[in-house]
Amino acid sequence: MSVRRLADEQPASFEFNADNLRWAQAQIAKYPEGRQASAVIPLLWQAQKQHDYWLPRPAIEKVADMLGMPYIRVLEIATFYTMFNLAPVGRHFIQMCGTTPCMLRGSDDIKAVLKRRVGAEREVSADGHFSWLEVECLGACCNAPMVQINDDYYEDLTAENFEKLLDDLAAGRPVRKGSQTGRVTSEPAGGLTSLTSLYGVDGRSGPGYVTAGGESAPDYAAAAGEKAHQDQAPATSSAGRLAQEVAESPGKPREPVAESGRARTEVPVADHGQRQDARAQPLVGGPQQGTPADHPTKSAPADPSKTS
């Protein structure tokens, strides 16, 4: 891991604004007395978001004071986790994935755009809009190449659509989060090849499609429930049939079920009313089926009427 140090230039002080202070107090209240230090990472994260996405030393010390922790303990946490930026970043902080899947799909082209438009890693652009950093896998490999800008993912990037994305962000225009080519989640690039009856060929027109606002077709739940009901089938295994028969007529004697390997076979009940276990039968070639010489038997007593 690279050495992480605080920025040379630091603000004089830090205070949570009113909204973030209420939020922080609510987080602290979740933990029992003596365990408030468990809220340290959420509070540091909120402080970073308030302070233009980087964490100054006064903010670290403020969080330590609120949680009753030594400064060094909170400083250890802030310098360990790379989610905390210890120096100023651009208003749009870009984390570019350069791991193998993104590299194979063209992340080098995205890096070239960043170097030309923004500058070197960790440097803030002259207008203050952007800074960037190459990071390890961000977990959107199906939609590579991709970047994370502040809290959001932007996927299926090319040099052209990434340039447009940066232009729109700099101008304050609305941008599309997620895929920049319009595909839904991680479906195939050419459109759905399965589940088309549920989501539609375009991934958006079927009863199972959920809109960006979280709304779905009104008949989706009913259709899903009806399908689940139709898919239900009665038990067909011997154990299932036996359980069904017992439930229907509990007073009627049942034939036992014996296992033979992976198959299950019905074993008839003997005439004298005792159960026979198929596993108790002698094996072929076993000692009970040997030759008379191997297993001598006792002779029956002679009939006295036939003796001379």
Tell which residue, 154, 155, 150, 162, has the closest CA to residue 111: 162
Q: Which residues have C-beta within 8 Å of that of residue 42, sequence separation ≥ 6?
A: 24, 27
Alpha-helical runs (H) found in the chain: 18-28, 40-50, 57-67, 71-80, 100-104, 107-117, 159-171, 196-199, 220-231, 238-248
Is residue 267 within 8 Å of residue 275, measured between CB atoms? yes
- Over its length of 308 residues, how does the chain's per-residue pLDDT go in tens digits? 467 889 889 999 999 999 999 999 999 999 999 999 999 999 999 999 999 999 999 999 999 999 999 999 999 999 999 899 999 999 999 999 999 999 999 999 999 999 999 999 999 999 999 999 999 999 999 999 999 999 999 999 999 999 999 999 999 999 999 999 988 778 777 777 888 888 777 777 777 766 655 555 444 445 445 555 555 555 455 555 655 665 665 555 555 545 445 545 454 544 544 554 545 455 555 445 444 455 555 555 555 555 54
Longest pairwise C-alpha distance within the chain? 132
Q: What secondary structure letter does DSSP report for 58?
A: H
Q: Which CATH architecture has domain 92-179?
A: 3-Layer(aba) Sandwich (3.40)
CB atoms near residue 142 (< 10 Å): 15
CATH class assigned to 18-80? mainly alpha
Q: What secondary structure letter does DSSP report for 287?
A: G
Domain residue ranges in the chain: 18-80, 92-179, 192-221
